[in-house]
Structure 1
């Protein structure tokens, strides 16, 4: 008996074919010129800020207090201004990022760097995404629509879920590392959005079938292929954004166009940590 074919194994559009450079189309037009895309678990492959020095993994501590005082409001405003200059135009995303205190989601010792355009370590080999990365991925996923229900795979410290919760009525976020799940719960409560995010400790590769379909899915780690379960949990007309590949990875935007059809668009070269099954306690 032959193995069932993955829904995206057979190209359905010329953009499915491998490309040497980023491809653009109306659904990917939020990609700014001269920028590579990455997320909380990526190494930037383009003219982005240089990588941080190596940090040893540490057991998460309680969220940082609001130790930046009134400066945090000013720094967030500067961050949003910078995001506009970098090509992010979605006002819903920008307003949400201005409202969420990013310094509450990082270690207290790094709070003074919270509003730099840089990834910062959160332990367990993971990092909180660069602000531009969060804004870009969410803007591309939500472009032209207002999603009512979004699934995030790889919640990390909870920051991206907190941003989503500012303009998406129903946010589900799955985290497979128990220590990060516990930290995200504390962070979301400290930021005042815990009640708006359904945080789940579990295997993100399976998605959340009992809550599907979703109007958007964002994935924070790279698999050899995007899990088929996630493709089927998209609503028709909804989008999923995720990295795909092993040694060579690209950011992929997928739109479900019918009950058995998906449109695939390849964006920039990226480097993400592997998408892993199961949970880590």
Structure 2
């Protein structure tokens, strides 16, 4: 029996994404059109639309669909933005961002994941996304971005990430520590940045953004 991915995609949107208050029609349209199974390894393809984090290798995982939907909605892209994604992973969220923005630069610390993601993007015809093998805590862009999407958690928001935002730019990021980890939208405004908490969630930390060990005497 052939698995009906199109039906699974519609079910994901109606039973997972919408109930989590993702109602932006542009975001929903992308999630309905883009074949998520094309970004999932063969072993896990039947789980492409499940409410699960899927393994990618190197201990990395693909975000749950609901978290991807909320991140895309929070960034409120209108099609004219330059976007930085920190943590390419499978490239699915990269593709979604590319379909909603003018251009995407995505960085991934594992070169094999970066290469595989770029290949998937090319197959899907997403030509406005660039994938670079780079560590977010070493890499130095020669520019700023209108929006940043961070796909791993941080203990505290790194100042270098904020510096990469243009004035008026916004960043989706998950910060804090379990059990009080928060997804937030950070806005780079005149006089400093403002952070709006969106919802509680839990994500693995970006390498280099983990809490510092607490020394006990």
Q: TM-score, normalised by structure 2?
A: 0.85
Matching residue within 96, 109, 117 for 1:184: 117
1:171-220, Cα deviation, whole Å (9 max, x unpaired)? 11010112211221222123222x221111112235653131x1111111
Runs of 4+ in 1 over 4 A off after TM superposition: none
Q: What is the alpha-carbon root mean square deviation over aligned residues?
A: 2.3
Determine the structure 2 residue equivalent to 1:254. Answer: 186
1:209 counterpart SS class: coil
Matching residue within 85, 92, 96 for 1:163: 96
Q: Which residues of structure 1 form unaligned runs of 5+?
A: 1-66
Distance 1:271 1:86 in 2: 16
1:204 counterpart SS class: coil
State whether residues 254 and 262 of structure 1, in contact with CA within 8 Å, keep that contact through their aligned partners in structure 2: yes
Q: Which residues of structure 2 form unaligned runs of 5+?
A: 209-217
**How far off is 1:240 after superposition?**
0.6
Compared CA separation, residues 106 and 154, structure 1 to 2 (3 A): same
2:88 counterpart SS class: coil
Matches within 5 A, 1:46-65: none
Q: Could you tell which deviates more after superposition, 241-250 or 229-238? A: 241-250
Q: TM-score, normalised by structure 1?
A: 0.67
- Asked if 1:100 corresponds to 2:34, the answer is yes
Determine the structure 2 residue equivalent to 1:29. Answer: none
Determine the structure 2 residue equivalent to 1:152. Answer: 85
- Asked if 1:271 corresponds to 2:206, the answer is no
**Bigger relative contact order, structure 1 or 2 (CA pairs below 8 A, ≥6 apart):** 1
Higher-Rg structure is 1
State whether residues 51 and 64 of structure 2, in contact with CA within 8 Å, keep that contact through their aligned partners in structure 1: yes
Matches within 5 A, 1:1-281: 71-82=4-15, 83-142=17-76, 146-193=79-126, 195-205=127-137, 209-212=141-144, 214-246=145-177, 248-258=180-190, 260-277=191-208
Distance 1:265 1:227 in 2: 16
Q: Which has the higher strand share?
A: 2
